[in-house]
Amino acid sequence: MARQRILITGVSGLLGSNLALFLKDTFEIIGLYWQHPLIIEGASTVQCDLSEQQEARRIVSEIQPDVVIHCASLTNVDQCERETALCQQMNHLTTKHVVEAIRGTPTKLVYISTDAVYQGTKGDYSELDPVAPQNYYGLTKYFGERECERVSAALILRANFFGWNILSKESLAEWILHRLQRGEIVSGFYDAVFSSLYAVDVARVIEWALRADLQGIYNIGTHDSCSKYEFARLVATTFGFDPSQVIKHSLSEHTFLATRGHNLSLCVDKLEHALATPMPTIKDSIERFYKDYQRTDILRNSGTIRQPSKYLSYGRHTIDGDDIEAVTVALKSTHLTQGPRVKHFEEAISNVTESRYAVAVNSGTSALHLACRAAGIGPGDEVITSPNTFVASANCVVYCGGRPIFADIDPHTYNIAPAEIARKITQRTKAVIPVHFAGQSCDMESIAQIVKEAEAKYRHRIVIIEDACHVFGSRYKGTPVGSCRFSDMVVMSFHPVKHITTGEGGAVLTNDPVLDRMVRKLRSHGITNDPKEFVYLQQGFSGSGEGMVNPWYYEQQELGYNYRLTDIQCALGISQIAKLELFQTRRRAIVRQYQSAFQDLPCIQRPFESPDCESIFHLYVLGIDFEKIGRSRAECMVHLNNRGIQTQVHYIPVHTQPFYQQQFGTHWGDCPRAEEYYRRCLSIPLSPLMTDRDVGRVIDEITALVRSHI
């Protein structure tokens, strides 16, 4: 006998994926997704835009399902309030198109509605209680219910559920668990009550309802209810965390865009009576959620359900809901730029690096330029730096009229070699810019000693500016890189591929108050409104320099720049710094997997880790003997790219660039160790977003590529 064919819309969502996984052994499952493709072993998945009426009709006509379970929906309540047109399209229009596609056919319709159709004041809502949605999400889901009532024998389920997501979104329980795992405090609303059911239990109940041929409107939830505060404490206790990590918070104290009901608990008597079985309790549901976690939840790890091989970039930013909320709050504030978040971000940077001062700017390149200006670099000055870096590390010197001098690298760390610095220092050396490559600090103690001896020899100051754009969070000899323990200034970058991001952004760190004031002034057009720094006191003060400060007055004292960072970007940066430890832990875990996997692979050199450093890798760079494996680097990169793995080259030696060869007379052969490194280097994907499966895929592809040609 042929199995019943079930079409599940929104199969990449929380409930859709759980339904497909639960029902696939009993029914023939076809899942529809819109923007998030995935593969389910034992089921079929198809892309379809249900907002297009003809698409909905075509897919139903081709599949001819016995049952449609319509889960597709926009569920972010605040997004629905903000993007009403999209919400109307996703929650009402798509439902209308599904209904029109199956009307007049024997197809049964199951519509997943929401508890948000109720007002949310009294609680214990039954199906006979009036509908009174408090937000646009609930309203459009109710419109969907009305559409479904046009189908005979439709089953409408008003639900609230949690569970394991296949995508990067988080259900409430996942959000709570992830914060507990990071050691963060969880705010739970003591005045928000619900009856949320584990998604796998929802799938089980839907199967029972199909077998019982239920129709009409039913509430589906737990037998009991609790507040979200109590729910969070139950999750904490069940997973073995300290429930004191959960603190009480009032729903009325939170500035949500959309109104939420305070008590949306559901009465499920009608469903329990129809199925002759009790619904699970909240405690039962959380325990089942935990048991699936214990058995290495199949949704996330076993391969039964997965997304198709995604494209793995060599590096990318990691943004979550907290970051988005922080930026949204900034956008709604009275300051978009030059406001309080800039100062807070600078303080957060100083806390991480243990520097006395931090000046936030709009890019790492701007930070380098300002540091060189503050150091007084000008025409005729020489500045020693590494050839193994991005061009900005040298360009900043040229911006000031100076001349970059390239000192070769250490063949193990790929950082500038202290002995090469000593060899290149002359009377004309004004500064040294060591570049910490890929996450590992240069040997700053040796560099500082070499500079100190040169200062004594040439009888003038030589400024040390650390280019630390790759190492935010790394440590050297027990001290955070950025503390300025061995330098005058340190420069950071917050580009999207770095350890944290502000979109674009950077910072200059120093312990010197004079340098701090100079960098701040240059950041903003060379202007100051600090009365203590005024040159023309009679113009700055009322009363010959001894009276009240003229409130409009400012002075441009230097030729500066507009290198400021906005409050919007700083809001993102503050949120990102709060997760820095989490990012570091994940990066280190990935590097450990890579180091172990590649240790015995012929023709490959793994990154060296100095015992003086605790490196939070920004890049993971392999040294590959391309000649021995019988493929050029370009061929390898194209092959891996075709397999969904992006690689990159960091870096083409700066002294070989046409600009430097033509303007400063540099040549191939000037830095042979950097040039040899360049011929072999290949950066492979490294990002906190990568799963263990992603890492394994990279390892397998590179191993296969190398072994197949030796």
Name residue 6's beta-bridge partners: 29, 67
Sheet holding 216-220, edge to edge: 44-47, 28-33, 5-9, 67-70, 108-114, 155-159, 216-220
Rounded-to-integer distance, Cα 689 and Cα 590, Å? 10
Rounded-to-integer distance, Cα 320 and Cα 324, Å? 7
Rounded-to-integer distance, Cα 670 and Cα 496, Å? 32
Q: Structure tokens of 209?
A: 């309802």
Closest CA to 164 of 41, 40, 10, 289: 289
Sheet holding 506-510, edge to edge: 357-361, 506-510, 489-493, 463-467, 429-433, 382-385, 403-406
Residue type for position 559: L
Rounded-to-integer distance, Cα 513 and Cα 521, Å? 12
228 classed as catalytic: no
Buried b (16+ CB within 10 A) or exposed e, 188-199: bbeebbbbbbbb
Return left, alpha or beta for 516; rule: phi > 0 is left, psi -120 to 50 is alpha, else beta: alpha
Rounded-to-integer distance, Cα 9 and Cα 144, Å? 14
Rounded-to-integer distance, Cα 610 and Cα 477, Å? 10
Virtual torsion, Cα 361, 362, 364, 366, nearest 10 deg: -80
3-state secondary structure labels for all residues of 263-296: ECCECCHHHHHHHCCCCCCHHHHHHHHHHHHHCC
Selecting among 24, 96, 141, 498, the annotated active-site residue is 498
* Three-class secondary structure of residue 663 per DSSP: helix
Contacts of 475 (CB under 8 A, 6+ apart): 441, 481, 613, 614
Provide the annotated active-site residues. 498
